[in-house]
A and B are shown apart, each in its own frame.
Chain A
Amino acid sequence: MKDKQLIVNAIKNGTVIDHIPAKNLFKVISILGLQTINNQITFGTGLESKKLGSKAIIKIADRYFLDEEINKIALVAPQAKLNIIRDYEVIEKRVVEVPDYIQGIVKCMNPKCITNNEEIKTKFTVLSKNEVSLKCHYCERITQQDRMVIL
């Protein structure tokens, strides 16, 4: 009998992003702009996870991320873990951290905010990182985690 199991191979060099909530996989892809690069990328989703219920994983060959790049995904994948791979070996593990300042990504919850009425990139100061709370640079209103909408 033919072995029908498809195995996603380990990557030689690059970054593996694990523990992404399955429902936010495509948001992570879009925040990191992975749809626009030509590297070899494999991803799996709907994978079983004790922590997340259903998780996704992304493997990006020959690509490494700066903290400030990767921290952008903290709002949609706060428990994401990064494995940095060189020559098939995990040489470093990293976690993501909510940055102090966020541009784009999140929508301001205030319908009367100028950013919801003209084409303007949103900007927020992060007031609190555990229970995320963002202060809009424009209207000065606070967007709490439970009302957060990802753009």
Chain B
Amino acid sequence: MKNKSLVSITDYSKDDYLKILDIAAEFEKNPSQHLLDGKIVATLFFEPSTRTRLSFESAINRLGGRVIGFSDANSSSVTKGETLKDTIKMVTGYVDLIVMRHPLEGAARYASEVASVPVINAGDGANQHPTQTLLDLYSIKKTQNTLENLNIFMIGDLKYGRTVHSLLMAMSNYNPTFFFISPDELKMPNEYKLFLEQHNIKYYEYRDFMPIIAEADIVYMTRVQKERFSDPIEYEKTKNAYVLNNSMLENTRENMKILHPLPRVNEISLDVDENPKAYYFTQAQNGVFVRQAIITSILGIK
């Protein structure tokens, strides 16, 4: 992994995942380790993502590294018409590592080919967001003590949800059973279902999760966005079918945990937050440890 960019979750092998998760567990025990003294990391956010940027910057700061960069394209030379290539060529001479988010798909892969330092993809449009996937894996492993043979429920927007697609690919290494619960308009795309069939992984599709939620080990919630619907009436009819509230959790498994990539809007009621099965805020916190692990292993320190 040393000096290798992390653009897509498939850039890492199953062994790489476990290595990252092990290092992340060490950082969770002892988050402030000055391993990046004298190192500079660029956080180039060509579109704003406060949550992801703060998580990366927290990780870098806890490691004692310095951060330079910008938090949206308006404050960078992009507004002057500079190409991505030129921006990356310039920054690559200033830093030891680039973390970048970009609204266009494939931007991070391209940057990794132009840069002479490693690039970590912090989201490229609807394509990939591998550090999110690794922190999801970490959260699943930590709460279930294993990644193997779990019942994974994915609820909400499964069509456009980049996080669920990457998580599906990564979890497919561990013989899961998937339950996809979504409105018809936002079903899991065929290419992913085909992928599961080719790998002999069981999956089931439902419109409603209540009859089956007792089977879940992990419930992965996503936001159902109004703008995804071609028919606004359809949205009004379906929006409340994918909202989780505390009373729905009564008959769920003891080990069951609710994950969400955040930001949440209304798909998880506030009354769930106090339930010990709600894990999304801890999941976000885990993101810092996982990003510490990724950064240090790419820089060859861990």
Task: Tell me the A residues contacting B by CB distance below 8 Å.
Answer: 110, 112-115, 117-120, 136-142
Contact = CB atoms under 8 A, between A and B. Distances in A.
A1 B167 CA distance: 79
Interface stretch (B12-20, B121-129, B228-236): B121-129
A136 B103 CA distance: 17
Interface of B: 8, 83-85, 102-107, 109-110, 124-128, 191
B161 to A, nearest CB: 15
B127 A139 contact: yes
B99 to A, nearest CB: 17
A113 B105 contact: yes
A138 B110 contact: yes
B83 A118 contact: yes
A117 to B, nearest CB: 5
A138 B109 contact: yes
A140 B104 contact: no
Given A140-B8, A141-B105, A142-B191, A114 B126 contact: no
B112 to A, nearest CB: 10
A139 B105 contact: yes
Given A118-B85, A139-B125, A139-B127, 17 more contacts: A112-B103, A112-B105, A112-B125, A112-B126, A113-B105, A114-B124, A119-B83, A120-B110, A136-B106, A137-B109, A138-B106, A138-B107, A138-B109, A139-B104, A139-B106, A140-B106, A141-B105
Q: Name, among B83, B105, B110, the residue most crowded by chain A CB atoms within 10 Å (CB to CB).
A: B105
A113 B124 CA distance: 10
Contacts of B106: 113-115, 136-140
Contacts of B84: 114, 118
Contacts of B126: 112
7 contacts: A112-B104, A112-B125, A118-B83, A137-B109, A138-B107, A140-B127, A141-B105
B235 to A, nearest CB: 23
B85 to A, nearest CB: 7
Contact of B105 (A110, A118, A119): A110
Contacts of A114: 84, 102, 104-107, 109-110, 124
A103 to B, nearest CB: 13
A118 B127 CA distance: 17
Contacts of B103: 112
Nearest to B84: A118
Nearest to A119: B83
A118 B102 CA distance: 13
Contact of A140 (B83, B110, B128): B128
A115 B128 CA distance: 16
Contacts of A142: 191
Nearest to A137: B109
Contacts of A139: 104-106, 124-125, 127
B123 to A, nearest CB: 13
A119 B114 CA distance: 13
Contacts of A136: 106
A113 B103 CA distance: 9
A119 B191 CA distance: 29
A74 to B, nearest CB: 24
A113 B191 contact: no
A114 B105 CA distance: 6
Contacts of A117: 104
Contacts of B83: 118-119
